[in-house]
Amino acid sequence: MPTLSTNPSAPVGIYNPASMNWQQIFDFTRRQGASSVQVSPSDALIICQLVSSRIWTAHPWQFTLTTTPAIPAVNGHQNYPMPADCYRLVKAWLRYPQPIAGSSNTVPPFDDPAYWALIAAQLSQTYVQGQDVTIDSPAFFFYPLNVVKTLDNNLYPTTAQRITQITQIGNSGTWRLSRATYVPADQPFELFGQYQPFAPKIEDLGKLLWMPENYVNLAESGILYYLYKANNDPRAGAASFQGGRMVYSGQLAVWMGEVEAAAEEEREGSVDTFSPEDSLGSDTAGQGIWIP
């Protein structure tokens, strides 16, 4: 029997945690690729922090994401406070209770359970034209929101079905919906956001790497780049703008290439997720349907 997903914040995957700490990967990289380079403990800490921050911010890695608790929608509000540790918003949705027939927040066919059953069955890829459909209506429906770069003020209140976008307003501590919310007393709804927090600070090289074991090579390549750079070694390479895009050379190109390859592999392997620019999985826009 087809069912509707009740959790857009599906598990992001199972990862093998790193077994090495920052000191171990730093010492290994220096022995293997830059044994003649001498750096102080304080400089080694700075190098590892630079490498960590650059990898973290290069992509909204699934294993770094966290989800907010429910944020109640408030009548007439377009802006909502975001978590204090939010670096960037990746995904958002509105959670809306099962439609009540005759509610001021629903219009036919949105208040007809048979309509939802038919849509869910069709999207399940098991539906045969003309077949009878029976389905248990979920307790909640979810309306995915497209994360966009900017949104203007729009204080004309509207219901959940007509709110389709959200943005993060710089470092103001605010998420803005495409429209102000109208919340009927009989059918309140809530906002959820999935976001990447700020990069962790490395204050002790004895800490384990925050990335999974199969991503440790990204740290190794980055540390080698900074060791070359510290020694004024031309193998470090450089970055420059050419033809309107960033171009890398040397070890910097190797590092950036590995980071992009890892990010691309994660994008291709994503299930039931969507990023600010790309929509993955099946959804029916504006109808509160979410099918993994």
221-268 pLDDT, tens digit each: 999 999 999 999 999 999 998 888 999 999 999 999 999 999 999 886
More confidently predicted of 36 and 122: 36
Confidence label for 128 from pLDDT (cuts 50, 70 and 90): low
Q: Has residue 273 got a pLDDT over 50?
A: no
Q: Identify whether residues 224 and 108 lie together within a single domain.
A: no
Decide if 158 contacts 107 (C-beta within 8 A). no
Half-sphere exposure at residue 67, Cβ-oriented, CA atoms within 13 angstroms: 16
Rounded Cα gap, residues 226 and 176, in angstroms: 39
Consecutive H or E run containing 215: none
Same domain, 215 and 180: no
Instruction: Answer whether residue 13 is part of any domain.
Output: no
- How far is it, in rounded angstroms, from Cα 270 to Cα 267? 5
Q: Which domain holds residue 255?
A: 22-31+45-63+200-268
User: In which band, very low, low, confident or very high, does the pLDDT at 143 lie, cut at 50, 70 and 90?
Assistant: confident
Backbone angles phi, psi at 268, to 5 degrees: -70, -30
Say whether 20 sits in a helix, a strand or coil. coil
Domain annotation covers residue 38: no
Instruction: Report how far residue 199's alpha carbon sits from residue 58's, in angstroms, rounded to the nearest whole number.
Output: 11
On whether residue 217 sits in a domain, the answer given is: yes
Q: How many CB atoms lie within 10 A of CB 247?
A: 12
Kindly state whether residues 100 and 188 are assigned to the same domain: yes
Do 208 and 192 fall into the same domain?
no
Residue 8 lies in a domain: no
Pair (71, 175) in one structural domain: yes
* pTM, 2 dp: 0.75
Residue 230 lies in a domain: yes
